[in-house]
Amino acid sequence: MSTKDGPLGDLKVIEMGHVIAAPMCGALLSDFGADVVKIERPGEGDMLRVLSARARDGVGVWWKTLARNKRLVALDWKSEEGREVLRRLVTGAHVLIENFRPGVLERAGLGPEVLHGWNPDLVIVRISGYGQTGPRASWPGFGRAGEAMSGLAHITGFPDNAPMHPGFPAADSTTGLMAAYGAMIALHAVQSGTARGQVVDLAIFEPLLRLIDYHVPTRTGAGLRVDRNGLQAPNSYAPAGVFRARDGKWVTITAGSAETGRRLLAAAGGKDWAEQPQFRTLEGFAEHMDEIVERLGAFVARHDAQEAIDIFRKHDAVAALIYDVDDILADPQIAARGDIVGVEGDDTKVVGPVPRLDRTPGRLRWLGRRDLGADSRAVLDELGFDAGQIDALIDKGILGEPGR
């Protein structure tokens, strides 16, 4: 398995994470060639292995995508001999990713001061529920707690019903994305001579807090609350909604300005309606939103979904079919972009590397594999351990490999 390809082909990453956030960070780096060595506990492995449906070969599909392109080492890094293996890995690495509760590494004698003693240029990415500092640092926290604390759940759903979490682990996934971003910023600081290795400290609520972006300035700058608004745009300034078409499919409609809003109205109700004076400003749209939503819904209901979308498109207005996964897999635009990829000999398909680079694109080299410690022997061999030393570590249960 070659890891020497892609724009990050010279980057060595140690992933000590588990479940979603840290593995997502490692996967994003591995997509572009980073040599990611994922460390799991012998005999146990990452819980992610069993947290999803199984593919036909018995391997968890979530594991296949989040452990893609990674080399797998089963290591008890809390033992004295396992610590020496980790020391050698750290000495030659650029990035270490972990998402344990704050204090776990310190209690094992592996806090940042120790790791930086081994490698002063190491970038240490630390992901936790509430961050490494503050009064809640020691609290346990999962993704849903982050979705709650960021405000995402509060602004999602209908005003007369309960707050809603999204249908995917938004906090964990966005934290993995932000962690990869943070790692690359810190690496640039090392390479430019701005700083030596440092700690990237991420709480799982912070990426969503940053990406939502508008709720804090809306409250502090305009004095307005941002609350659940159903299927409408934030604060109902621009027309938007999700409407059921005659054929039972769902269409989402949105506008980002008074001008694009008038295009929606012209498509659904004609030019005379769209050019009424109250629709010259977004404030006018907001004052007449109930009427707009009612008429847009009635228009979509009279047409099949694709027919309605085609009419909106003729008016240069934005409308789209709400896809399920089968729509995604059948869509020609997604296919043309090469967004769904796989590997030879495996039916499981995954979402390919994003973003698209025209000269140094990312690549799916292999999917996450079943065997715990699949690369333990090869990685330790690269670190200078001889066969006898490796066998001794396996016999003691400090190192794991397939079948042992």
Catalytic residue annotation: 172
Angle of CA points 224, 228, 231, to nearest 5°: 120
Q: Tokens 């699949």 belong to which residue? A: 374
Structure tokens at 328: 């995604």
**In whole angstroms, what separates CA 311 from the centre of its chain?**
35
Compute the half-sphere exposure of residue 184: CA atoms within 13 Å on the CB side of its CA: 14
Q: What is the 3-state secondary structure (H, E, C) of the chain?
A: CCCCCCCCCCCEEEECCCCCHHHHHHHHHHCCCCEEEEEECCCCCCHHHHCCCECCCCCEHHHHHHCCCEEEEEECCCCHHHHHHHHHHHHCCCEEEECCCCCHHHHCCCCHHHHHHHCCCCEEEEEECCCCCCCCCCCCCCHHHHHHHCCCCCCCCCCCCCCCCCCCCHHHHHHHHHHHHHHHHHHHHHHHCCCCCCEEEEECCHHHHHHHCCHHHHHHHHCCCCCCCCCCCHHHCCCEEEEECCCCCEEEEECCCHHHHHHHHHHHHCHHHHCCHHHHCHHHHHHCHHHHHHHHHHHHHCCCHHHHHHHHHHCCCEEEECCCHHHHHHCHHHHHHCCEECCCCCCCCEECCCCCCCCCCCCCCCCCCCCCCCCHHHHHHHCCCCHHHHHHHHHCCCEECCCC
